Amino acid sequence: MNSIPGRRVIISVFLIFLLLPIYWLVNMSFKTNGEIVSTMTLWPHQPTIANYMRIFTDESWYSGYINSLKYVIINTVISISVALPAAYAFSRYRFLGDKHLFFWLLSNRMAPAAVYALPFFNLYSAIGLFDTPWAVALAHCIFNVPLAVWILEGFVSSVPREIDETAFLDGYSFPRFFIKILVPLIASGIGVAAFFCFMFSWVELLLARTLTSVDAKPISAVMTRTVSAAGMDWGLLAAAGVLTIIPGALVIWFVRNYIARGFALGRV
Amino acid sequence: MDKTINNKAWFLVLPVFLLVAFSAILPLMTVVNYSLQDTFGNNQFFWNGVGWFKELLDPSTDLGGRFLASLGRNLVFSAVILAIEVPLGIVVALSMPRGGWTVAFCLVTLALPLLIPWNVVGTIWQIFGRPDIGLLGYTLTSMGIDYNYVSNDVDAWVTVIVMDVWHWTSLVALLCYAGLKSIPDAYYQAAQIDGASRWAVFTAIQLPKMHRVLLIAVLLRFMDSFMIYTEPFVVTGGGPGNSTTFISIELVKIALGQFDLGKAAALSLVYNLIILIVCWVFYTIMTHAGTERRPAEGGA
């Protein structure tokens, strides 16, 4: 009843449309530069893993991945731990200025990163965090914390408040209730929120590039090195691109059952 | 569900408030400060009052001309993106398989483009569209279509739009899918008993049930398409000429390229204000729509 005519065709065509450019990148990453430039081949005729080997053996390359993962993980941990209590407060209580505060938080999720690039550069240079993963992690909080609050608020609201009341009657203190009862109940919500923080921090380039120079350089900035005087190193660029897709794909696999609800910000 | 009034809840919100205030209010004050001054380098600043803002809104000046042109391009871009992605997302969500392992497969594949770093999205399409080494560009060229996103305005636009559809339609589709999943089977059974047509089921059951997630989708897609930077920057670099220079690209050019802090700051503020107003409108509609339809649900 809830299907539409030709749905198999539609979904197949759309998935092919999504996968084709990714396939092309994977395809190129296994080719030599000579093969890429000289011939048009639908699969690598002389498959090579030289591009990947270079990334795994050259420190300036693989440290980019480590740096990216560092700030993404720091950011996710900070965002979730501050957003949890706030989400609970927004879901359960009415307090002075709550609506305005919520909109103000959201408005930060909407602020263009380009606006903040320069002031952040000044701010984090002034407090000595420039070129550390902490600077990027804190900068990314500006859009991840509001998003985490938004998602978690939806999930907390779906927990009946009778559960809170029963727990308090049973003599649970607030922190104990929070950790022992609420957190396990919304575990899937926390997973989804963490997924989103990971995602938005992982894909962001502008702030990450502006706030780092040498030591904490993220992979997205390292990738620009493939442009050299000798022309583009297409194979290497493609291999580096493929490797940035893998962490995301792994994370999706873990949250696949909650992903749809999570994208609706816990609000369906 | 009635919420209790309790101002102590502020203690729970305080960490978030402090963290976001630190990363939002301090930088914003710097921006306001810059926007009223002019600089000739060497950290020397001169008071300029609202001069930059006047220039910004006057199309005859260089700054104003660039701002208004890129604003226009951004509005057209956002409109096209919404017009394509929202209907397409709904269709894809309606086409999702109903059960079995294919659901997980489709969900993971749909989510894949969302998890790719934005500059890599740009790189993928930059490669994919090249007539010499990219599948798309090569196929189009060998079919006799003159396609080159580096030199042709229209081709550049088409590339950037197709790239955005590729990148973000999944978000709309996943949101709609979540909305559709929440419709109880009883609704469909009732519709079947009433002998409702497929179209009637869509307009009377599915669309109203999806309206909440659709608003989120429109809101997110508008915001993100309005501040798009990385993907077109990587693919076209804002060219050919200025044809795909959106506001963010213009802003970064002025701020980090020319270090014209005053101009950049004034532009930032106006840019931010536009987004804020549009989002406030969306947000109000969203919360009102939520309370009208389901008065029991508190919303945000």
Cα diameter, chain A:
75
pLDDT digit string, tens, across residues B92-124: 999 888 777 888 888 888 888 988 888 888 888
Residue B295: what pLDDT?
41
Looking at the predicted structure, is the pLDDT value of residue B181 above 70?
yes
Q: Which residues of A108-128 are buried (b: 16+ CB within 10 A; e: fewer)?
A: bbbbbbbbbbbbbbebbeeee
Q: What is the pLDDT of residue A86?
A: 93
CB contact under 8 A, B97 and A108: no
Beta bridge partners of B198: none
Q: Collect all residues with Cβ–Cβ distance below 8 Å to B24 and sequence separation of at least 6.
A: A108, A111, A142
Q: Do B117 and A98 touch (CB under 8 A)?
A: no
Look up residue B112 and give its DSSP letter: G
* Residues of A whose CB is below 8 A from B183: 2
- When CB atoms are compared, the residue of A5, A112, A220 closest to B119 is A220
Question: Does an H or E element contain B47, and which?
Answer: strand B45-47
Residue B244 main-chain phi, psi, to 5 deg: -115, 30
Q: Output the pTM of the full model.
A: 0.84
Under an 8 A CB cutoff, do A10 and B92 touch?
Answer: yes
Interface of B with A in 181-200 (CB under 8 A): 181-183, 188, 191-192, 198
Please indicate whether, in this complex, the C-beta atoms of A206 and B174 are within 8 angstroms of each other: no
For residue B26, the chain A residues in CB contact (below 8 A) are: 119, 123
- Alpha-carbon radius of gyration of chain B: 23
Residue B141 pLDDT exceeds 70: yes
Contact residues on chain B for A8, CB-CB shorter than 8 A: 95, 97
Query: Is the distance from CB of A60 to CB of B158 less than 8 angstroms?
Result: no
Instruction: Identify the pLDDT of residue A81.
Output: 92
Long-range contacts of A44-53 (CB under 8 A, 24+ apart): A48/A235, A50/A235, A51/A235, A51/A236, A51/A238, A51/A239, A52/A239, A52/A243
CA distance B158 to chain A (A): 15
Residues 6+ apart with CB under 8 A from B180: A2, B93, B94, B96, B206, B209, B210
Residue among B13, B24, B134 whose CB faces A142 most closely: B24
ipTM (interface predicted TM): 0.82
B110 contacts on A by Cβ (under 8 Å): 15, 18
- DSSP-derived pairing of the beta strands A93-94 and B4-5: parallel
What's the average pLDDT block by block, 10 residues per block, for chain A (268 residues)?
73 92 90 79 82 85 88 94 92 86 82 80 86 90 89 85 89 89 86 86 86 83 68 82 87 75 58
The pLDDT, as a whole number, for residue A266 is 55
Q: Which residue in A has a C-alpha nearest to residue B223's C-alpha? A: A110
Residues A142 and B150: their CA atoms lie apart, in Å, by 35
Cβ-Cβ contacts under 8 Å, A28 against chain B: 127, 133
Whether A263 sits inside 8 A of B174 (CB atoms) is yes
**Nearest Cα to A106, choosing from B279, B95, B69?**
B279
pLDDT number for residue B200: 87
From B27, B170, B272, residue closest to A123, measured CB to CB: B27
Confidence (pLDDT) at B297? 40
Q: Is B119 on the interface with A (CB under 8 A)?
A: yes
Cβ within 8 Å of A, B 8-67: 8-10, 12-13, 15-17, 19-20, 22-24, 26-28, 30-31
Taking an 8 Å cut-off on Cβ atoms, the answer to whether B255 and A157 are in contact is no
The reply to whether B282 touches chain A by the CB within 8 Å rule is no
Q: What is the reported pLDDT for B300? A: 36
Confidence of residue B294 (pLDDT cuts 50, 70, 90): very low
Task: Locate all alpha helices (DSSP H) within chain A, ordered by sequence.
Answer: 7-29, 33-38, 50-57, 59-92, 98-110, 113-126, 133-157, 161-169, 174-177, 183-185, 187-203, 206-210, 219-222, 234-255, 259-263
Rounded (5°) CA angle A133-A137-A139: 120
| Cβ contact, residue pair A85, B279, below 8 Å | no
What is the predicted pLDDT for the residue at B79? 92
Provide the CB-side half-sphere exposure for B11 (13 A, CA).
4
Does residue B210 belong to the interface with chain A, where contact is any CB pair within 8 Å? Answer: no
Q: Is B220 on the interface with A (CB under 8 A)?
A: no
| pLDDT for the residue A227 | 63
